[in-house]
Structure 1
């Protein structure tokens, strides 16, 4: 018994100190988590200081308006309705000057229209008698709510959606206050000067303290997209021309990893930037001349058109990227045959796109006739090479001597195998498609037919597929055709940028 008691005492003494240790460990882990969260917030603030400045400016604007209520002297002058100035400052203040002016104008105009309508309806309802007055007011509220709610969904008036909301809210407040308090004129005056005070303070703070112009942001985003397209094209072509024997071969499993690649992300950001650029262009129209954009009626809408053409170029880059990550891979020996033509055309196209972005950035227009002609020559050389060599590649596939020795050109290579004429090749293609149709019919037939009935056709199809195993060649042709399509869209991009330079009065540059 003594031994058992001693053992129990020993166990208690050894286990008792563990609880405080666990409690201390838990406190340390919570402290570490809090520090990590603070560090993440600090890192986010350092990454984009513009958001921090915007938040501080918004706080300052609301504070300045609130002082009119906090101090006794201005409160005695403006009265309790000055609270609408705080609401205006909160709703109107945006991250750029153009959006702030746009919202302020919509709010002021909507308030003015709603006030006029409310006074007119209130006077008409008052002259109709006490019995009909609430019915007229209720019907007018219903009609105004229906009209404003419908008009803000109209595609041409979507940008004034905020103004319709303000008009409905103001109309309801004024006409109800007139029905209960009988003083609509006073309510109208108080609301108008309160909105004016809140809007003016918001605009002054936004313009005077680290102003952020929508036009500058639109200009920078468009230039950034130009360089992103050029870099994506070069990276895509560089990756497809890598030797599969030295680099890791792309497999079908990498299709899931495609969205994580930098090239794909850049193109995806360009495709998703359409609505953002349109919003910036609408806000920039409200901004006065500033900085480098010192003349009135600056063609901000042309920026949106240029961005739309540029997005079509990004579509082609994504097509090239998807071909590289396709399930059916193009052998490296086939890439080598057209390596020089693909490399030359892609590099010149990327260089031209990058120069266009630089011209917009510097607001100049440089002659590009020599670059365009050189790009067209490279593209025609690539097309001619594909046309001349496609038949040889189609019949030789990977086993031809030209692919075993890529240094040779097709002009120096004389095929030793018999070449079928066009009629025989057409007949083989027709038989191949007929067999494919039968196989699909058997696959989807109900009830399913026996496989033995198709063995004879299967034997024929093997021979045809062996002679026409052109899947890799077709993928290569698809890649080159997409590259040629990219060059064609670059021509449209040049026209759009040239039109922008004319409308925006870019300075001519004869350096190139």
Structure 2
């Protein structure tokens, strides 16, 4: 910062640190080495074993269908049309709606060819052309319908398969109707093989994945809440990184934060799993028909609204304006108790969904509400600490502009609140207890307000950041009531086992 020019600020951003190359060669070659590539593949496979299972099942289904081509007698019966079975296998493993699209396209093609054949050679081309136009227009319009947007690819498959079957089989030498029927049989064979492989060999149910992911989201929100609160209360400012570094939105020392951020992006994934689970037959612990998979999406939506508050609390944790460490310690017990009770309730709801049981939570809810009321009462009783600009001004006028004024502030907070004991801090620590903006930044402005009074106002503004953090925590607790209601509705519609808990 250039002190010679009044009212101007120069920011010197140094060059980035050099990248160390520990491998002795270029980083590109080390990252693309065969051993590193193999290790990355193994890590990717071990993260989710269902990926390996799915790949092996696709390969096995393709192998079974290819036997109809490699063996002479089936190939002589179906001919080259058996290739449609392979295409059906590849399409069906992409989604059940695509499989239905292939089946419907085959049926429509057979019906159209039958109508064209019975109309004579003159009208047949016009009927085929009109049917292609009609199918293309209807499928393109239906996939734009809001409620049918999730099945967009299914309509695309209908259009593609129908055009290939009809247009490619019309001018072939021989019976066009027979060609269409053979292709329909091939599509049916591919569909049957795919269903049998999916159901009988290590089935991967979308409903179970949805159930598992929702449980993980509950635990991640609870972990992220506790991590954020503990880090906020334990941060004395001595190791806080520069603001320009924290706006990168990537905190390597906070894994729960990154996972909580991933929850906010999981809406489309839950919707996709729920739409796929609706087509699955009763299985496992989900034995009754018309299982309320949509309620899982509703619970996930309410949980994401709770995660929004946690993300906002993380924003307070890494903001430029910070409350003094002494002031945070004054309300430490109440804030920590509220966060712990809220995380306990989240884990209890997660356990209920995992065990598929309905348990009332009046005791846990009362604990959470009581701890929140204690926190609000404590802030109300000591609200003068959050707006004590005049108190800080008097203290500074009495002792002067030195590093001991923050030590006196610690004594004032300790005497009035009685929440912590006076500790000995270094001058560097005391300087860090000063909040944004810094004294140097204030000196750059010309105004009628004196420097001492301006610093007092700045300290009061920084103290209000604690009120922001606590208000976000209180709002998080308020949203837990809606989350409990959503989980109870899910348990009622899904017919979870009702369990009475003695309070």
Which TM-score bucket, shorter chain as reference? 0.7 to 0.9
Q: CA contact under 8 A between 2:322 and 2:463: conserved in structure 1?
A: no
* Structure 2 match to 1:404: 411
Say which is worse superposed, 177-186 or 52-61, in terms of deviation.
Answer: 177-186
* Structure 1 match to 2:145: 154
Q: Distance in 2 between matches of 1:409 and 1:309?
A: 40
* Structure 2 match to 1:232: 224
What runs of 5+ residues in structure 2 fail to find an aligned partner? 1-24, 396-407, 420-444
* Structure 2 match to 1:508: 498
Which of the numbers 173, 177, 202 marks the counterpart of 1:185? 177
Q: Distance in 2 between matches of 1:108 and 1:139?
A: 21
Q: Distance in 1 between matches of 2:448 and 2:328?
A: 31
The equivalences for 1:323-342 within 5 A come to: 323-342=316-335
For residue 316 of structure 1, give the secondary structure of its aligned residue in structure 2.
helix
* Structure 2 match to 1:441: none
Bigger helix fraction: 1
Q: 1:485 to 1:173 in 2, by over 3 A?
A: same
* Structure 2 match to 1:493: 483
* Structure 2 match to 1:50: 50
Q: Is the counterpart of residue 165 in structure 1 residue 160 in structure 2?
A: no
* Structure 1 match to 2:364: 371
The equivalences for 1:70-109 within 5 A come to: 70-94=70-94, 99=95, 101-109=96-104
For residue 212 of structure 1, give the secondary structure of its aligned residue in structure 2.
coil
Q: Offset at 1:496?
A: 0.2
Q: CA contact under 8 A between 1:356 and 1:497: conserved in structure 2?
A: yes
Q: Offset at 1:170?
A: 3.3
Q: Offset at 1:164?
A: 1.7
Q: Distance in 1 between matches of 2:109 and 2:306?
A: 47
Q: Distance in 1 between matches of 2:210 and 2:379?
A: 41
Q: Offset at 1:163?
A: 2.8
Q: CA RMSD in A?
A: 3.0
The equivalences for 1:248-327 within 5 A come to: 248-256=239-247, 258-260=249-251, 261-327=254-320
Q: CA contact under 8 A between 2:313 and 2:472: conserved in structure 1?
A: yes
For residue 288 of structure 2, give the secondary structure of its aligned residue in structure 1.
coil
Q: CA contact under 8 A between 1:86 and 1:198: conserved in structure 2?
A: yes
TM-score scaled to structure 1, two decimals?
Answer: 0.77
What runs of 5+ residues in structure 1 fail to find an aligned partner? 1-24, 413-453
* Structure 1 match to 2:36: 36
Q: CA contact under 8 A between 1:218 and 1:281: conserved in structure 2?
A: yes
Q: Distance in 1 between matches of 2:168 and 2:121?
A: 13
* Structure 2 match to 1:222: 214
Q: Offset at 1:255?
A: 1.1
* Structure 2 match to 1:480: 470
Q: CA contact under 8 A between 1:68 and 1:75: conserved in structure 2?
A: yes
Q: Offset at 1:150?
A: 2.8
For residue 78 of structure 1, give the secondary structure of its aligned residue in structure 2.
helix
Q: Distance in 1 between matches of 2:461 and 2:451?
A: 14
Q: Offset at 1:466?
A: 4.7
Say which is worse superposed, 182-191 or 308-317, in terms of deviation.
Answer: 182-191
Q: 1:39 to 1:262 in 2, by over 3 A?
A: closer
Which of the numbers 389, 407, 412 marks the counterpart of 2:382? 389
Which of the numbers 471, 486, 493 marks the counterpart of 2:461? 471
For residue 448 of structure 2, give the secondary structure of its aligned residue in structure 1.
helix
Which of the numbers 194, 198, 206 marks the counterpart of 2:198? 206
Q: CA contact under 8 A between 1:299 and 1:503: conserved in structure 2?
A: yes
Once the two structures are superposed, residues 24-56 of structure 1 have per-residue CA deviations (whole angstroms, 9 ceiling, x without a partner) of x99xx99x9333333333343334322122111
The equivalences for 1:433-444 within 5 A come to: none
Q: Distance in 1 between matches of 2:136 and 2:390?
A: 70
Q: Distance in 1 between matches of 2:53 and 2:226?
A: 37
For residue 259 of structure 1, give the secondary structure of its aligned residue in structure 2.
coil
Q: 1:353 to 1:338 in 2, by over 3 A?
A: same
* Structure 2 match to 1:459: 448
Q: 1:301 to 1:378 in 2, by over 3 A?
A: same
Q: 1:384 to 1:317 in 2, by over 3 A?
A: same
Q: CA contact under 8 A between 1:148 and 1:165: conserved in structure 2?
A: yes
Q: CA contact under 8 A between 1:364 and 1:501: conserved in structure 2?
A: yes
Q: Distance in 1 between matches of 2:149 and 2:391?
A: 58
* Structure 1 match to 2:186: 194
Q: Distance in 1 between matches of 2:166 and 2:205?
A: 38
TM-score scaled to structure 2, two decimals?
Answer: 0.78
* Structure 2 match to 1:442: none
Q: Distance in 2 between matches of 1:397 and 1:198?
A: 80
Q: 1:121 to 1:74 in 2, by over 3 A?
A: closer
Once the two structures are superposed, residues 442-501 of structure 1 have per-residue CA deviations (whole angstroms, 9 ceiling, x without a partner) of xxxxxxxxxxxx95xx11476764554321122111111111110111111000000001
Q: Distance in 1 between matches of 2:105 and 2:374?
A: 61
